[in-house]
Structure 1
Amino acid sequence: MGFLKSYKETVSKTVSVPYEASNKGGTKSVTVDIPVEINLHFNTDPFSESVKSCENDITLLTAAVVATEQVEVRTKEENSLRVADSVVNGFFSYIRSEISQQVTELVQVAEGKQIILKELIKRSTSVKSQMEKDFNRISSRYIKVFQDLNKELSYRVYELNKYIFNFESQTNNHKVRAINSDLINVIAVFGAECSSLISKISSSVTKKRAIDTITKAKNFILTQKRLYNEIQKGIVNEEISGDVVVPVCFIESYSNPNSYERKIYSQEDLAQKEGSEVWDHIIMQISSEDIKWEAISQKDKSNIALYFEYELEKRVKQGDPHSFRVRETIRKIANLDSICVMSNR
């Protein structure tokens, strides 16, 4: 496919033309007009083919760029999701491990405190039962004493105020007789006088009873005090021998096959009081061949492990890496399976 282009022009030119010799010869100027027509045919097929090829290449390049961009976006999205999942999983794993470690530590501390609380509950229950027994014994004794004292005081009050009681009975009879008689007009006056007299008598009786009760209580307390002092004077100070059970730790270590060392650890104050001779005697008894040893039971091992972890956690300073390293080293060194106890068989 192409297109046609035409150009038309007239070319004018003046030229000299010679005469013939018969005509005397010579030259003359002649203007010559020559029409010129140029037809140009342009073939654009190769150019169109090249443009079309270029257009196809550009289309393919655009598609490739778009596809590459989509792949890049998808890759970035997948990588970002992968990184985000990794960060989130790492964060939650770290938090989970921290929480698990704290829960483990708190469980160990709680179990240790639970054992201590159980021991305190047992001691409190024992003290409570003993106090209840003492209270019941003392209260039963003093209740009987006060009941007898009240009975004796009532008898004495009656004997001391016998005339007043007789006077009261006579007054009551007079009051009843006055009400049943025809002297209705003097009832109000008699009632007022009788009420005043009765209140005064009641006040005096109450005061007398209170004074007598205080006096009797004072005499009773003084008597008990004198009795206690007499009993204390008669008590002889003496010491009674008995068995004392004290926990000790016996350690036997070997530096080489021919050398060993035996030690006993206990409370410091007890060791200072008894001296080294007692400990040497205990070491000789424990080292005797007549004593049989056996591995510690699983229950005792569990209890010792709880106390061991509890004491170990108490001595760890929070936030101190050195304390944590020392704790882990002690845990690695500790071998509770090597503990032996005396056999009961």
Structure 2
Amino acid sequence: MVTPGPLARHPRDHDLLLAALTAPSPSENTPWRVELPTPSKSIDQLRVAIWAEDPSCLVDHATARALAAVEQMLSRTGAMVRRSAGPCSSVTPRACSSSSCTTATAPAGDEAAAEELAAARALRNDDASPRAAFLRHRTQTHRTWLRTDEDRAKLRQTWQQFFTEHDDLLTPAAPTPAIPAGSRSLAVDGTERSFFDQTGWANLTSHVGLPSLVVPVTPTEEGLPIGVQIIGPAYTDRVLLALAEELTPLFGLSPQARRVEGRGSSRAAAPRIGPVPPRQAEQGASCLPVGVACGSYRSPPRAAASDAGRAHQSPHSKRAGQCNAQAPRVFRD
């Protein structure tokens, strides 16, 4: 799975990490505290948007089927689920690409920085290659950055408006299931795509300060995980963790997608979401981690709060049990 953040076996582990990141260091001797909101709605009260596809970052059939299965599962819980084109005009907005590279050249030495500036000035105006884009972003002027930051502020307002009508947004985590480690190519249903599409969906939120989680949904026949990304409004980090904790057991899937035969061809069946035996759920939670893509709150690592390991209670719990009484709750206390 793609996630530019920490990995953990269970949302509970991320809750512990979040407590550490949002607690002041004892050496600071400061009175500040961060109280992030906790869930106030049950699953059947949620308004969930599904951003399933985008022409700027195509997804393959296996990923689309996995997301559709999650959509069906959420509908069965009673949540209000609908498809959406997303709050952005593109999965890869310019503000994201530009702002993500603004400090990339800062640690470079004077000689290396001068070489990059010279290389950027030598670029042709029509050079739209990934290398040229990255080089321009790394060497942009302060004026260019200020204008980009204005674009980012406008984009943040667009997201805020979107979340007045929705509680959560689900997207693919990546265009395809996990690719081999070290690979520098990406093919979507046999068609070669830019390798940078691999992080297109994961880069939706960091530059606008929104929290998001990547949760494993199902493995492919080869055992590679397919994940979905859950995005929430600013500062709802704990709300997303609680939601992921309640949804994880509902993602109890058959170990691998079955193949069904058609006339003259074969295709992978859509993954089925339902209860799995508790031991199998434990094994799945251990080998398919939950990833935090980003968060609303940013701080250097801090000492964990003393009560960070306590069980996290969520109003989603009761409804989840009603929807699927056999769905196991995987806790590690």
Q: Do both share a fold (TM > 0.5)?
A: no
Higher helix share: 1
Higher relative contact order (CA 8 A, sep 6+): 2
Alignment TM class, shorter chain as reference: under 0.3
Q: How high is the TM-score relative to the length of structure 2?
A: 0.20
